[in-house]
Every structure is written in structure tokens, then in C-alpha cells.
Structure 1
Amino acid sequence: MFRLMFFEPRIPQNTGNAIRLVAGTGCELHLVGPLGFDMSEPKLKRAGLDYHDLASVTVHENLSAAWDALAPTRVFAYTAHSSTFHTAVDYEPGDVLLFGPEPTGLPDDVLGDSHVTDKLRIPMIPGRRSLNLANAAAVVMYEAWRQHGFAGSV
């Protein structure tokens, strides 16, 4: 399935919501450190409800370690600084869907990383900076999963 990656996430509740997202879609969550919270943070646990045991979550020390572990073929980085919408891609199982930290987004060195296949954006009306990280991840994850007929769902 798809691999959701949060680069240096800062807000535990967003990561908790992402845990629920990957548990519900059968995808993987990869967290790239340093994290802005401890994985035992009560807010993370509360947001993830009872889905923690149902989710595939891996914490990587840094981006280099994540690339080594995942050996990705395709990585899509989501940024407001792209003109290509997230729906313009034909997603494939194994794709890495890369999101940056709140509130800054992905830094230029990550956006320019040689592993990044393309930079994509989620459309919004003018004058809005960004969506909540967990919501943005859900929008993209469900588009990728929709393209594959919601494989594995009931």
C-alpha cells in the first residue's frame, strides 16, 4: 500500500490522527526525526484512540535513515509552492507521500532532495496558507487509495 511520511512533525495530535488514518487505510506511517514530541505523549495517544496497535508506524532518526530503510522508487512532496495538484498523479502502491512539519512545511533542502519525484499541492482558495497536517494527509491518502478502488476495504 502507500507510505505516508511526516518529516519532523511537531504536533502530537496530528500524528495521532495520522495513526488512525493509516490503521483505517492499511497504509504505513513513517515519522522522520527529530520529533517535536515523545511517542508516549498523552495527546498523541488520545488522538490515536485505540488504533495504535492496528497501525504500522516507524520512527526514523533522520531523513537519510528513512531513505535507507524505505529505498523508495517514488516520493511525492506536498507543498503550497507547486502548481501541480495532488490529483494529477497516478499513484502506485509503495509511493511515499511526504509532508512537512507544522507550521513551516517542508524545507527547501528536503523539497530539492534527489529522492523527491515531484512536488504537489492540494488546492485551496486564495489567501489561505495551509490545511491541518492530518487533514492534508487524509486528502492525499484517500485520493491515492481511491485510484486503486479502495483495495482491501469493505
Structure 2
Amino acid sequence: MLHIVLHEPEMPANTGNIGRTCVACGAVLHLIEPLGFKLNEKMIKRAGLDYWEHLDVRTYVNFEDFLEKNHHPKIYMATTKSRQTYADVTYGGADEDVYLMFGKESAGIPEEILLDYKETAVRIPMLPEIRSLNLSNSVAIVAYEVLRQQGFDHFQREGQLHRYEW
């Protein structure tokens, strides 16, 4: 199972978009407080559309609470400070839980947390002039790499036209 972990997210629209991505991926969304918004805000539900009611979302008072309640999982830390890219890593198989953690929009994951995750820290390559990508875009990029590596197991892989034939 895929788990998306947001450490102190600040923008409700990003979290709503990420919630929608989690529903599409069958992922659990973990939110580590403090949050920069309330979970019942309209912006979250608007961004998540009618998918929010189908989301498995869990909250934690801090990072230590998250670790304890999830039995100290192996976590891949998405950060611009990593030396390896998200595509350089082999994530767990389809039967393994994969945790992807992303930091808050204004500052990322605190460096004191990253120090313990050097081997599982990953970055999305980008031009040097760019500080970072939008949080919800970053989540989608890395999450779908995990799913790609797992062969998109249990996912609809083909679409069809409604009024025409291919």
C-alpha cells in the first residue's frame, strides 16, 4: 500500500489536490500537525472535489506520534536537499507498504528529520534556478513512479472513447 505523508502542510488547496491523488492511487494520506488550515475548510473539499469523502486520511500531533502509530516505517523523504533522484530508487514491491513524506510548502522537511533518512531521501530533478515544484505536483510525480515500479497492479490501464472507436 502507498502512504503519502505531509509534514505540516500549509495550503488547503494543495492538500485537497493531494487527497484526490491519494484516492486515485488507493493511497492513505497522513497529515502531521500543525496544519495551516482546518480539515473542514471549503478549499480542501473544493480541490478534492467529491473524492474527499472516499479518502483515508489520518492526523498526528507531531512526527514522533506518526512514527509510533505506524511502527517506525521505512520512509522515503522527498526533498530538494537529496543527492539521489526519485527515479534512482527501487521502492517496495506491490505487497509492501511504501511511505513517501513531503514537507510544508514554505520550508520542506526539517533538516533535523532528514539527517536520519539520508539513504531514503529523494529529489525531483529541475533546473537550478527553480527552488521547488508545487507540493501537489511533487506528490503526483513520486507517487506514480512508485506505482509504475509496481506495475500499476490493480489499476485500470486502458481507456476508451465514449462516442467513437479507436
| TM bracket, shorter-chain basis | over 0.9
What is the Cα-based RMSD across aligned positions, in Å? 1.3
Q: In the TM superposition, what is the alpha-carbon distance from 1:41 to its structure 2 partner?
A: 0.9
Specify which of 137, 149, 152 is matched with residue 151 of structure 2: 149
TM superposition outliers: structure 1 runs of 4+ over 2 Å = 114-117
Residues in 1 aligned to 2:120 and 2:53: alpha-carbon distance in whole angstroms: 32
One-letter amino acid of the counterpart of residue 95, structure 1? V
- List aligned pairs for 1:132-147, cutoff 5 A: 132-147=134-149
Deviation at 1:73, TM superposition (A): 3.4
CA distance in 2, matches of 1:62, 1:37: 16
What is aligned with 1:128?
130
Matched with 2:32 is 32
Could you tell me which runs of 5 or more consecutive residues in structure 1 were left unpaired when the two chains were aligned.
none
Confirm or deny that 1:109 pairs with 2:112.
yes
- Asked if structure 2 preserves the Cα contact closer than 8 Å seen for 1:75 and 1:116, the reply is no
Aligned residues, how many? 153
CA contact (8 A) 1:15 1:44 kept: yes
TM-score normalized by the length of structure 2? 0.88
For the 8 Å contact 2:67–2:73, the answer to whether it is kept is no
Question: What residue in structure 2 maps to residue 17 of structure 1?
Answer: 17
| CA shift digits 1:106-136 (9 cap, x unpaired) | 1111212x46752110011121100000000
- Mapped contact 1:5–1:32 kept (Cα < 8 A): yes
Partner of 2:163: none
**Is the 2:82–2:118 Cα contact (8 Å) retained in structure 1?**
no
SS at match of 1:127: coil
- Cα distance between partner residues in 2 of 1:29 and 1:2: 9
Which residue number corresponds to residue 65 of structure 1?
65
State the AA in 1 paired with 2:27. Answer: C
State whether residues 77 and 117 of structure 2, in contact with CA within 8 Å, keep that contact through their aligned partners in structure 1: no
Q: Aligned residue for 2:159?
A: none
Counterpart of 1:118, as a letter, is T
Query: Contact 2:9 / 2:104 at 8 angstroms: preserved in 1?
Result: yes
Task: Identify if the C-alpha distance between structure 1 residues 95 and 72 changes in structure 2 by more than 3 Å, giving closer, same or farther.
Answer: farther
The answer to whether 1:118 aligns with 2:128 is no
Gapped runs of 5+ residues in structure 2?
157-166
Mapping for residues 38-77 of structure 1, pairs under 5 Å: 38-77=38-77
Counterparts of 1:80-99 in structure 2 under 5 Å?
80-92=80-92, 93-99=96-102
